[in-house]
Amino acid sequence: MLDGLAHLLFPAVCILCQKPLDKNEEHICAGCFDDFNPFPGAFAGGMALQSTVRDHFDEHAVPSAAWCLYPYRSSSTLHKAMHSMKYGSLFPLGELFGKRLGELILRSGDQVAFDAIVPVPLHHLKRIERTYNQAEAIAGGMAGVLGLPVVTECLDRSLYTSTQTGLGIEARRENMAGAFRPGRKRSPARVLLVDDVLTTGATMVAAAKALKAAGAVEVAFATIAVTEKEA
């Protein structure tokens, strides 16, 4: 009742198009979600992610399973939303995207194949700078949908890497190699590793390697978006 009144007096609007939101919409309206131009299905998104990793790394680095919601272009509405999530402290957005990613995995029926969700960690100094880790927010949204625990103690970020934006593949690889190490707890065997955007795969490949050193047997990748290949 009070919620309804507040909604009447201060209608919530879509953060992207500023249109008033429907009761069942949060932060982003259905129309803007459609504008993000999702992959036509779980298979297509997973294939796009795996193919990007394959372009930059050996076959053994390609995850056996992968999920991804959207192709990513700079200057798209998705880019604007992801940027708000990362730097604009719009913490609930990560959870919202995480729920969608969780639903995608749930529809594919593969959530039973995993023991835990592990978000790609930020170095603790970067965490202070940004106040939160967007991958953790995404993992939180997925966890509720999939009924899986989020585990963070099995993976640490050892290096304070500068931003990857604008770096070529060689520089990215060097920037990331050795950036992660096993955490203080042993990794669950079957892990869903989560990040916001996969560009070349350098971050997730390096994180997966450390997870395997921590005891993981299988590491699947799940991201909100994968950067589109240049034509």
Establish if 16 lies at the interface with Zn ion (CB under 5 A): yes
Q: Which is nearer to Zn ion, 19 or 229 (CB)?
A: 19
Q: Which is nearer to Zn ion, 56 or 79 (CB)?
A: 79
Distance CA 213, CA 91 (A): 31
Establish if 15 lies at the interface with Zn ion (CB under 5 A): no
Please check whether residue 221 is in contact with residue 197, taking contact to mean a CB–CB distance below 8 angstroms: no
Distance CA 107, CA 121 (A): 27
The minimum distance between CB 86 and Zn ion, in angstroms, equals 19
Q: Distance between terminal CA atoms of the chain? A: 52
Looking at 27, 32, 150, 183, which residue binds Zn ion (CB under 5 A)?
Answer: 32
Establish if 96 lies at the interface with Zn ion (CB under 5 A): no
Q: Which is nearer to Zn ion, 70 or 180 (CB)?
A: 70
Q: Which one-letter DSSP state was computed for residue 229? A: P
The minimum distance between CB 175 and Zn ion, in angstroms, equals 35
Helix axes 91-108, 77-87, angle to 10 degrees: 120
Looking at 6, 7, 13, 17, which residue binds Zn ion (CB under 5 A)?
Answer: 17
- Does residue 146 sit in helix, strand or coil? helix
The minimum distance between CB 218 and Zn ion, in angstroms, equals 38
On the 0-12 / 13-18 / 19+ scale of CB atoms within 10 A, 117 is buried
Establish if 29 lies at the interface with Zn ion (CB under 5 A): yes
Comparing C-alpha atoms, which of 192, 227, 220, 207 is closest to residue 122? 207
Q: Which stretch binds Zn ion (CB under 5 A): 21-29, 104-112, 121-129, 214-222?
A: 21-29
Establish if 62 lies at the interface with Zn ion (CB under 5 A): no
- Does residue 2 sit in helix, strand or coil? helix
Q: Which is nearer to Zn ion, 6 or 17 (CB)?
A: 17
Q: Which is nearer to Zn ion, 31 or 147 (CB)?
A: 31
Would you tell me which residues interact with Zn ion (CB under 5 A)? 14, 16-17, 29, 32
